[in-house]
Structure 1
Amino acid sequence: MIDRGVAAILIGAGALVACGGQERDQGAAAPSARPDPGRAPGGPVLRWRMTGGFAGLGGPGSLPEFSLYGDGRAIASARTGSAAPLPVLREYRLTAQALRRLLDEARAAGLDRPRTIGSGRVADAMILEISMGAARTRIEQPEGQPGLPAVRFWKRLDPQGWPRADQAAPPRHHRSARVAVLAGESPAAPGQDVSDWPLNRPLGRGEQAAGGLCSVVAGEDRDTAVKHVATAGTDHRWRSGGRVYSVRLRPMLPEERTCRDVART
């Protein structure tokens, strides 16, 4: 009799051959890759992001498109259709039964063990990264491999398509309690607007992380930074400590506390 784990690998390998891809298994599932909502109610259990491509998606400090937590909360980037100084996030909440079912489906799709699917030889390839606990699956050009179980499951991680019966509460705007201010020196072009940075802490004192000089703001400082940057727009420049900077704001996820957390997510 064929072991169920071996059978799953053989089935996955057959799908990859049909799609012309290659799979590189990176080891057995770690215990933390099989999250139990009862054991870790607050931590992330599933997450995905898209990286690569000609536009260079998923750069340092970028937000995952979707994060699901052990208490049933899901935080997803809203599709606004335009660049915003502060990315817009929506919060959803699954029932306990729907959460358990979704995690079972993730395991059935093989997401509880780290692996890479694809040749790795395609320049500027789009890469889908799905994390389940400590296990990360990377899939090259996922839209070209719709038959893969992991890709089919990925389509389930669109909260806008979740049945109402699976949701414990209506969707709502997610307000991050903390925001990372990511600054980089950028002299203003002729005619470009420059304003004094509204916070007391100079931008130049930030920690080098997530592709810029990073500072975490909360409370009144958070609200002040969001208000001024949102009003000024993404092309504005900010004067701080005798230098001029460009600034982008990155909402922090519930488990993130520091700039190092932002760089790791």
Structure 2
Amino acid sequence: MTRFRGVWVAVVPVVLLTAACAGQDGAGVAPDAAPLTLPADVAVLRIDQTGGFVRPETNVTRLPSVSVYSDGRVITQGPTILSYPGPALPNLQVRTVSAAEVTRLVEQARAAGVGSPVDVGTPTITDVTTTRFTIRETVGSEQLEVYALGEATGPEAGLTPAQQAAREKLRTFADKLTDPGNAATQSYQPTAIAAVAAPWVATPETAKQPRVAWPGPALPGASLGAGLDLGCVTVTGDAVKQLIDAAGRANAATAWTSGGKPWAVTLRPLLPDETDCASLSAGR
């Protein structure tokens, strides 16, 4: 692992998805590009966020901005209401693209700088997130981490013109990838949901929230680490539909009752390449 001024790039030798080379902007790909050979549930391209000054449960349950899977599924976060409290379940949307488009997106990520020793500088900003770009292929993966990608956009952040330009290229790519535009999308239907639970505490904002019976495994579940006061259970099988139905009557501030106690629960739909609560810890 090599550090390039504020960014970590983890490089493992990889096999290219196609022998055809995309143009400088990554827009071109040969029509006979080799099909992907990875399993359908492998995320070949992902953009997610790490770190920042956030609540522990937010850090654990944070969803990627976008995940592109080998079989062409593209999962993104859809629009949500900004008022408090928000919905109990995040709005995940999925659309499907062709194998050639998946290959093209990977090449665009490379053209934007992922997998290269790009200098993005170290901004003079504190307590914000790091954007992590990941490309995964047959024999390895490559990552590029950029601190304060959305916040550090000008010279006032202590960046050179070249560093600003490198960041702008990555921002443009990320914005385009996470925006489905006019593409048809539908709600993502998870086969499992991780539920991160903490003792529910009444506040002036939450005291009047309705209590909802918890339909899954007993809360709080397995500890997520010393000092966090957070537990996690994985909801699977028929209980997933029951939980989705119950979440429609709840919100982010609902007190879920389990074992005669109220719990504050953050629901995190598991993505196709995730299996249980351990997947959340692995992504931090």
Q: TM-score, normalised by structure 1?
A: 0.75
CA distance in 2, matches of 1:237, 1:249: 13
Tell me what 2:38 maps to: 40
1:40 partner amino acid: L
Is residue 199 from structure 1 mapped to residue 215 from structure 2 by the alignment?
yes
Over 3 Å counting, the alpha-carbon distance change for 1:240 and 1:32 in structure 2 is farther
CA distance in 2, matches of 1:59, 1:238: 21
Tell me what 1:136 maps to: 143
CA distance in 2, matches of 1:81, 1:32: 41
1:200 to partner: Cα distance:
6.4
Per-residue CA deviation, residues 137-193 of structure 1 (Å, 9 max, x unaligned), is: 12123241662133332233134237x6xxxxx322211111111111123358544
Residues 73 and 94 in structure 2, CA contact (< 8 A), matched pair in contact too: yes
Residues 194 and 234 in structure 2, CA contact (< 8 A), matched pair in contact too: yes
CA distance in 2, matches of 1:75, 1:99: 13
CA distance in 2, matches of 1:24, 1:62: 21
Over 3 Å counting, the alpha-carbon distance change for 1:33 and 1:261 in structure 2 is farther
Tell me what 2:158 maps to: none
1:244 to partner: Cα distance:
2.4
CA distance in 2, matches of 1:189, 1:180: 25
Higher helix share goes to which structure? 1
Is residue 102 from structure 1 mapped to residue 105 from structure 2 by the alignment?
yes
Residues 40-79 of structure 1 mapped to structure 2, 5 A cutoff: 40-42=38-40, 43-51=42-50, 59-79=59-79
Residues 200 and 263 in structure 2, CA contact (< 8 A), matched pair in contact too: yes
* Alignment size in residue pairs: 237
1:112 to partner: Cα distance:
2.6
CA distance in 2, matches of 1:91, 1:126: 25
Residues 45 and 135 in structure 2, CA contact (< 8 A), matched pair in contact too: yes
Structure 1 unmatched runs, 5+ = 1-12, 14-21, 165-169
Secondary structure at the counterpart of residue 139 of structure 1: strand
Per-residue CA deviation, residues 213-236 of structure 1 (Å, 9 max, x unaligned), is: 111112321122222233032222
Tell me what 1:171 maps to: 185
CA distance in 1, matches of 2:203, 2:108: 52
Query: Aligned residues: percent identity?
Result: 25
CA distance in 1, matches of 2:276, 2:172: 34
Over 3 Å counting, the alpha-carbon distance change for 1:100 and 1:238 in structure 2 is closer
CA distance in 1, matches of 2:55, 2:143: 20
Tell me what 2:12 maps to: 30
What is the root-mean-square deviation of aligned Cα atoms in Å? 3.1
1:117 to partner: Cα distance:
3.4
Q: TM-score, normalised by structure 2?
A: 0.71
Tell me what 2:197 maps to: 183
Tell me what 1:124 maps to: 127
Higher strand share goes to which structure? 1
